[in-house]
Structure 1
C-alpha cells in the first residue's frame, strides 16, 4: 500500500468527525482539508517527508489535533505536548571515550 493511501486512511480514521479530503500537490506533498458543515476547519500542506512512515504520520495527526484544540480555545494536556518531542537529546559518555580521568567513576 502506498504511503499516500495509508495517509488518507489514517487521516480519515483520526478525524472521523470531519469530512476529510486529501489532494496530491505537484511537488508530491499532500493537501489535507478538514471540513465541517460545509466550512473549512483546517487546511494543511504536508510534505512527503512528514507522512511516509507510521511514526511521522502519528506526529502529524497529533499536531493537527493540538491545533484543533487550540482553535477551539482548549489547551492540550501537557502529556500530549510532550509526546510531540521527535528526538531525544544526545548523551555522551565522556569517561568511556577518553579513558579514566579524575572525577570519572571507573
Structure 2
C-alpha cells in the first residue's frame, strides 16, 4: 500500500501517527493521544478509505462511543475474513 500519510494525519488530527514496516509489505500503524496508544496491523493491499473508516470505528469502540455511521457503511460490503484449518 502506498501510504498517504498526509491524508491519514488530516483524518486523525488529535493523534500522533507513526508506522513501522513489516516484512510482508504491510505496516503497523500507531495512533497516540495523551497516554493512550492504539495500534493496528495494516496489510499491503488495504485501501486508504477503508483504513480510515476502520480506524474511526475501532477508536470509537475503544473509547466506548457509538461509531460514526459513515465508518460502518464502508465496511458493510466487505466480507468477514475466513480462516481454514489445515
Larger Rg: 1
More helix as a share of residues: 1
When residues 44 and 79 of structure 1 are mapped into structure 2, their CA distance, relative to the original with a 3 A threshold, is closer
Uncovered stretches (5+) of structure 1, i.e. residues with no partner: 51-55, 88-106
RMSD: 2.0
1:17 paired with 2:24, answer no
Structure 1 outlier segments of 4+, above 6 Å: none
Uncovered stretches (5+) of structure 2, i.e. residues with no partner: 79-86
Indicate the SS of the match to 2:30.
Answer: strand
Does 1 or 2 have the higher relative contact order (CA < 8 Å, sep 6+)?
Answer: 2
**TM-score with structure 2 length normalisation?**
0.75
**TM-score with structure 1 length normalisation?**
0.63
